[in-house]
């Protein structure tokens, strides 16, 4: 029997990148998967394309190839009603919900940085990364408690949520604030849900090779930063992690092998935090 046999996992931002990797790895460990994604771009604020419905369908196909059922849902994590509808559909189809991965997230580092643009970026990044995670928790935790099976929740943060990050650019400020905010959110929910045997933790990856970090604008930014870019290097001789490296940690963290681990901030960072 695999580690998550018969369980049901909900993953936000599941169409591509880390989210797809988490969904597939959880399926390989035995879980049926509810894959949620926006499937459209953020116009004018995020300098890289978002995933498409085709990407989301490909994630679900990979889950099914692993021998598990998949439910694809197009939903905006900023929309609590849409998330609650997705959870209701999950309950109707599977009759349980055991694992929640709050993975959906964006960043932005471009634009004219006028006050108007900066305000827009600040709110959009915070709303997706932090409010979106809060909405996901509000939509899922009550039904997990009602099912009475316990469970595990992971909020995907960043080393930017633990360590000083570049500031003065709206997108950077919002990204760092949102990822740090996830820690406070996690601690409160971990405490409140512990009596229901529902564990809540954050993981904090260093840079991961996804569209967020490999698009042309980001590469140009790192080049323009020159020596400052060295502040973002890992201690171990690896420039970026692969999504599966984070998925391995998450799959372990939501399994019974980590059944008494809750309320922790777990770096997956190749030594980034010790530099």
User: How many C-beta atoms lie closer than 10 Å to residue 274's C-beta?
Assistant: 10
Residue written as token pair 């771009």? 41
Report whether 73 contacts 12 (CB < 8 A): no
Instruction: Give how far Cα 11 sits from Cα of 42, 99, 104, 221, Å.
Output: 20, 8, 8, 30
Report whether 54 contacts 143 (CB < 8 A): no
- Strands of the sheet containing 198-205, edge to edge, are 70-74, 32-37, 8-12, 99-102, 151-156, 198-205, 265-268
Q: Among 76, 123, 132, 127, which residue's Cα sits nearest to residue 103?
A: 132
Would residue 175 show up in a list of annotated catalytic residues for this protein? yes
Q: Among 155, 97, 149, which residue's Cα sits nearest to residue 130?
A: 155
Catalytic residue among 48, 172, 175, 232: 175
Instruction: Give how far Cα 75 sits from Cα of 80, 152, 211, 268, Å.
Output: 9, 22, 20, 28
Residue written as token pair 């990979």? 62
Report whether 268 contacts 238 (CB < 8 A): no
Q: Which residues are catalytic?
A: 175
């Amino acid at each position: 029997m695999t580690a998550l046999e018969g369980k049901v996992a909900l993953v936000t931002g599941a169409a591509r990148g880390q989210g797809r990797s988490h969904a597939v790895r959880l399926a390989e460990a035995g879980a049926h998967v509810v894959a949620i994604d926006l499937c459209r771009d953020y116009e004018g604020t995020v300098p890289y394309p978002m995933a498409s419905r085709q990407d989301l369908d490909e994630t679900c196909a990979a889950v099914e190839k692993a021998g598990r059922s998949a439910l694809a849902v197009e939903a905006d994590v900023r929309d609590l009603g849409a998330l609650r509808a997705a959870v209701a559909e999950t309950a109707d189809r599977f009759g349980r919900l055991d694992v929640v991965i709050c993975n959906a997230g964006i960043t932005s580092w471009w634009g004219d940085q006028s006050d108007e643009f900066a305000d827009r970026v600040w709110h959009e990044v915070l709303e997706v990364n932090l409010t979106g995670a809060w909405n996901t928790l509000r939509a899922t935790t009550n039904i997990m408690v009602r099912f009475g099976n316990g469970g595990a929740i992971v909020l995907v943060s960043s080393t930017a949520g633990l360590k000083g990050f570049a500031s003065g650019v709206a997108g950077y400020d919002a990204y760092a604030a949102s990822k740090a905010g996830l820690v406070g959110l996690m601690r409160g929910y971990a405490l409140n849900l512990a009596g229901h045997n529902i564990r809540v933790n954050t993981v904090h990856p260093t840079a991961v090779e996804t569209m967020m970090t490999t698009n042309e604008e980001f590469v140009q930014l790192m080049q323009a930063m020159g020596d400052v870019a060295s502040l973002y290097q890992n201690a171990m001789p690896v420039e970026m992690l692969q999504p599966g490296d984070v998925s391995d940690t998450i799959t372990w963290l939501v399994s019974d092998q980590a059944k008494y681990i809750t309320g922790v901030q777990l770096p997956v960072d190749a030594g980034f935090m010790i530099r």
